[in-house]
Amino acid sequence: MTAVQGPAPELVNADETVTYDALVVGCGVIGPCVATGLARKGKKVLIVERDWSMPDRIVGELMQPGGVRALRTLGMVQSINGIEAMPVTGYTVFYNGEKVVIPYPYKADTGAVEKISGLVRDGNDKIANGDQTISVQDFELDERERGVGFVHGRFLQNLREIVAQEPNITRLQGNVTEILKNKQNEVIGAKVDIAGRGKVDFHAHVTFVCDGIFSRFRRELSPEHVPKVGSSFVGMSLYHAKMPSPNHGHVILGTNHMPILVYQISPEETRILCAFNSPKLPSNIKEWMRKDVQPFIPESLRPSFDDALSQGKFKSMPNSFLPGRQNNVLGLCVIGDALNMRHPLTGGGMTVGLNDVVLLIKKIGNLDFSERELILDELLDYHFERKTYDSVINVLSIALYSLFAADNDNLRALQKGCFKYFKRGGDCVRLPVSFLSGVLPRPFLLTKVFFSVALYAVYVNFEKRGPLGFPVALLEGIAILFTAARVFTPYLYAEMIG
């Protein structure tokens, strides 16, 4: 019988007598970036993770260009090297058998990538040479922006390796059981249950909660800070799939089915995510996939899809929405999915989180963390500054899901109008994909474009009705515009004002 191997000694020996500048709870995607950024700014950091072994999850597998740019700004973009990651050059959208190709924006339109002093050094804002799948030619020299698809766990281990190389970071394996507070209800650290040591109190000037979508500690901000789950994704791994458009994300839409996403995450593996419009999964997933998904899969993907379906290895994930809140508790900063979530349809989660880290490091990276009141003031400002960027991706994700998962006639009219809008090309493609890819943080321009799509949907409906159907089309047009306002405006308000 093989003995169970415990964690490495360096992962359980953190010194509890030290008051750290920063204690980071969670070493998913955002935690390592917060810890590394602060450490490179000279802060003494403790980062706690329950399990440092490689996870197997279907979230966080496609990063938009805005996320890649944020990694460059943080000097951590080489985390996508050496993991057989796949470059993503844009999207192909299918609608009832028709398709439109949507490339990512030109770099000339997005501007130069900002570099944070102390974080960017020795070329760590550039892709490394010698990678078999991620080439310097594509990412550094091509005229268009690039996204990337990867196996989540491999990417995460690269981020953790960067953490391990930072001399100012102490790593700890253990389960955080409590956020510690003093008599004034101010956060002063965390209690960690460590194998072989028991429960140990660690103290820090600022505690950063980065424990992801299922966060245990987001409620430290407010008991009401709870995500709403409205739908689900059922995922499978397709192997050796023949992609309709290589190096593209694929969005498969139709009048009679829910959205289907397909994107490659390694040379052999492709992820397919099938939307289900309920938090509760179908009782018989295989039968649901056979009936409601399989008939709408593009022909070139069918062999790999059919093989995966026969094996029945499904994974699921809840699709949550959680508007961000102010970090108004002294000594605490909640960041990443613990703070703010959007629908994963647009693949914007990591992009939002990484850009939040960029802003955070710029706001507080050079401050003395023992001046806790000053840090709190900066975090209050940070909440409002992040809205300009994050609201675009968050609101777009909810609005597009409403259109793409159309469950009534008005939404189906908007879905059709949206596809035909894309087919017009020019700015009708350039602006939407710039929002989607996280390189155009202009919420009011997004509002203008969204309602341009809605008006175009009204026009398409008038065309369909013809002159004799004008009275009906007029009434339908009013209903379409009302529906567009209903699926867009409340979320914009929640992001910008709430």
CB-CB contact of 122 with 55 (8 Å):
no
d(CA 286, CA 39): 47
Same fold, 9-61+151-226+322-388 and 228-320: no
* Cβ contacts of 378-384, under 8 Å, gap ≥ 24: 379/326, 379/327, 379/328, 379/333, 380/326, 380/327, 380/328, 382/327, 383/324, 383/325, 383/326, 383/327
Give Rg (Cα) of the chain: 23
Architecture of domain 228-320: 2-Layer Sandwich (3.30)
- The low-confidence residues of the chain, meaning pLDDT below 50, are 1-3
Question: Within 13 Å of residue 346, how many CA atoms lie on the same side as its CB?
Answer: 32
Residue ranges of alpha helices (H) inside 41-180 are: 65-74, 107-110, 136, 152-164
**Quick one: tokens of 80?**
């996508």
| Cβ-based neighbours of 200, under 8 Å, separated by 6 or more | 16, 174, 191, 192, 193, 194
Which amino acid, residue 267? Answer: P
**Quick one: tokens of 202?**
């660690």
Give the Cβ contact number of residue 38 at 10 Å. 28
Which uninterrupted H or E stretch holds 296? none
d(CA 321, CA 110): 28
d(CA 415, CA 325): 31
- The CATH number of the structural domain formed by 9-61+151-226+322-388 is 3.50.50.60
Which amino acid, residue 346? Answer: T
Hey, CA dihedral for 388, 36, 265, 292, is it positive or negative? Answer: negative
Instruction: Determine the pLDDT at residue 1.
Output: 43
Domain ranges of the chain: 9-61+151-226+322-388, 228-320, 406-496
Phi/psi-derived region of residue 450, left when phi > 0, alpha when psi is between -120 and 50, beta in every other case: alpha
Which uninterrupted H or E stretch holds 378? helix 372-404
d(CA 257, CA 327): 40
DSSP class of residue 348? -
DSSP class of residue 335? -
The residue among 330, 26, 371 whose CA lies nearest residue 181 is 330
Three-state SS across 379-441? Answer: HHHHHHHHHHHHHHHHHHHHHHHHHHCCCCHHHHHHHHHHHHHHHCCCHHHHHHHHHHCCCCC
d(CA 58, CA 235): 7
Which uninterrupted H or E stretch holds 200? strand 198-209
CA distances from 314 to 236, 261, 267, 274, 275 (A): 5, 15, 20, 11, 13
Beta bridge partners of 144: 106
Q: What angle do CA 256, 402, 472 make, to 5 degrees?
A: 70
